[in-house]
Structure 1
Amino acid sequence: MDRQARRNNRRRFLLGLAVLLLVIIGASFLPLAAWLESARTWVDSHLLLGALLFAGVFIILTVAMVPGSLLMASAGYLFGLPVGLPLASVCIGCGAGLAALVYRTFAREWLWQRFNTDPRFVTIDEAVARKGFLIVLLTRLSLLMPFNLLNIIYGLSRIPLPTMAMATWIGMTPAVLLYTYLGSIAANVEQLMSQEFANPWASRAVLISGILVVVAATWVVHRTATAALRAELEQ
């Protein structure tokens, strides 16, 4: 992966994060906020059923290539961090595995014609043939390539799907933490930004500090995994 490709991927990551933050803030002022609040209230009263329904929708939308960041943030918003984090974590692994299975079974020929000349696919496919679990783990941790694009690549590769799903489940943990955390605080943004707290400025400082800590930790993992991935691919 050349320097320009890395810069482009970094811009996409930062752009996606910025869009997500705008969605979170906008949800406090748009009519959509009332619908989301109603859904969150219903989930609070039907936690198990809500989690099962959400998991099914999450996995189906992953196959449909809906951005994983929105799905993970939705888990945090509806269920809060303690429930949303493990729920999104399990769903992201299962969704990636099912997506790869669907692509491998029903769209393999069309996707192969589209991606078999892509140098990124060729490089990763060759690396997966040598060290499947490690390469999937590093690509998920590095965030260099979009989540849905990697699902396609691994659907076309030779890696066993259970191995890919397990490595995805582990490797996506930092991203799941980031987006579910942002989703969980979105439910309280309006309250935190209002005068309902005795010290609203302290509340805002806590909110901003929490976001910065989670983003910084994710970025450190990204940089470390990217360096390790680059070393493996160069072999």
Structure 2
Amino acid sequence: MKRRIVGALAALLLLAAAGWFLPLQPWLGAALTWAAAHRGPSALAFVALYVLASVCLVPGLILTLAGGAIFGLVRGVVLVSAGSLLGASAAFFIGRTFAREWTQRRIAAWPRLRALDGALGERGLWIVLLTRLSPLLPFNLLNYAYGVTAVRPRDYIAGSWLGMLPATVLYVYAGSAAANLAQALSGGVRTGRTGTVLLVVGLAATVTVAALVTRVARRRLEQELAP
């Protein structure tokens, strides 16, 4: 198991290094330019690209904007939602496969950590949903982190989809309003008041999820320590 953990960590470091040193942006731009020129057959390729980007810790904002610019609002929302959810789920199950058993053994002797893990399992849907709304928590790293917790897969998937949907609609719409793909890729789009509202909601969600996890974990800790 230790070898699997070390291997998984090494793989994540390699993915992060690839994102830093390899010319991923030009490659991504070339792939999206091809998708824009072949909108019919490129839908599945776009979803696959989004999944790969999520697993490789590549931020999805540019892809989301490009989805709107290439496919329009409705189709773009469908494809971006599919790609982001499949990518998040893939990373989740990678984390669960390689590190969940190891995590369970390590926290067995620590009541506080068991209580925190139990809180994630008990209120997983709401915790995942709120963290997905938060602009302060790293989306791609959370995918892997949730995999090593007690969050149930169905809660993770449902919470992720619901939590990601508002930002997906907003940024796909912003991309669809761009004059062309180049403008969307440059980030030269505006989200207006809706973006500000979403930011405020996300910050409120950050505070709420912290309070929720603390309250549930405290209650479970009291149960753990009760004679």
Q: TM-score if structure 1 supplies the norm length?
A: 0.63
Displacement of 1:147 in angstroms is 0.4
**Any conservation in 1 of the 2:120–2:213 contact (CA below 8 Å)?**
no
Residue 211 (structure 2) pairs with residue 231 (structure 1): yes
The CA deviation at 1:131 is: 0.7
Deviation at 1:156, TM superposition (A): 0.6
Q: Give the whole-Å Cα distance in 2 for the aligned partners of 1:122 and 1:66.
A: 31
| Residue 217, structure 1, aligned to residue 187, structure 2 | no
**What do the CA deviations read for 1:124-145 (whole angstroms, capped 9, x no partner)?**
6453122111111111112321
Correspondence 1:93 to 2:89:
no
Describe how 1:45-64 pairs up with structure 2 within 5 A.
Answer: 46=40, 49-64=41-56
Aligned AA (1:62): S
Secondary structure of 2:85's counterpart equals helix
Aligned partner of 1:39 in structure 2 is 35
Matched, 1:167 2:167: no
Query: Closer, same or farther in 2 for the Cα pair 1:60/1:124, shift >3 Å?
Result: farther
In the alignment, does 2:59 pair up with 1:67? yes
Contact 2:35 2:46 (C-alpha < 8 Å) held by counterparts: no
Q: Does the 8 A contact of 2:69 with 2:180 survive in 1?
A: no
Q: 3-state DSSP class of the match of 1:223? A: helix
Q: How many percent identity over aligned positions?
A: 38
Counterpart amino acid of residue 58 in structure 2: V
Find the partner of 2:76 among 80, 84, 102. Answer: 84
Cα distance in 2 for partners of 1:107, 1:175 equals 30
Structure 2 spans left out of the alignment, 5+ residues = 1-24, 108-112, 216-227
- Are the counterparts in 1 of residues 92 and 143 from structure 2 also a CA contact under 8 Å? yes
3-state SS in 1 of match to 2:150: coil
Contact in 2 for aligned 1:174/1:221 (Cα 8 Å): no
Aligned counterparts of 1:159 and 1:35: Cα–Cα separation in 2: 34
> Does the Cα contact within 8 Å between 1:123 and 1:233 map onto a contact in 2?
no
1:184 Cα deviation after fit: 2.4
Following superposition of structure 1 onto structure 2, how do residues 122-201 of structure 1 map, counting pairs within 5 Å? 125-188=117-180
Q: CA contact under 8 A between 2:50 and 2:83: conserved in structure 1?
A: yes
Q: Quick one: distance in 2 between partners of 1:231 and 1:62?
A: 28
Verify the 8 A CA contact 1:93 1:166 in the aligned structure 2: no
- Residue 85 of structure 1 deviates from its aligned partner by 1.3
3-state SS of the aligned residue for 1:157?
Answer: coil
Deviations 1:102-133 (A, max 9, x none): 122146689x6xxx8xxxx9896453122111
Match of 1:8 in 2: none
Code of the residue aligned with 2:155 in structure 1: it is T
Provide structure 1 residue ranges, at least 5 long, that are not aligned to the other structure.
Answer: 1-26, 192-206
| Contact 1:67-1:148 at 8 Å conserved across structures | yes
Question: Is the Cα–Cα contact under 8 Å of residues 127 and 135 in structure 1 kept in the other structure?
Answer: no
Output one character per residue of 1:14-73: Cα deviation in whole Å (capped at 9) or x when no partner. xxxxxxxxxxxxx9xx9x989855531311xx1xx3212211221122112211223322
Q: Secondary structure at the match of 1:186?
A: coil
Q: Which TM-score applies when normalising by structure 2?
A: 0.65
Q: CA deviation at 1:188?
A: 3.6
Task: Decide whether aligned partners of structure 1 residues 108 and 187 sit closer, same or farther in structure 2, where only a CA change above 3 A counts.
Answer: farther
AA partner of residue 41 (structure 1): A
Secondary structure of the structure 2 residue equivalent to 1:172? helix
For residues 157 and 176 of structure 2, the distance between their equivalents in structure 1, rounded to whole angstroms, comes to 25
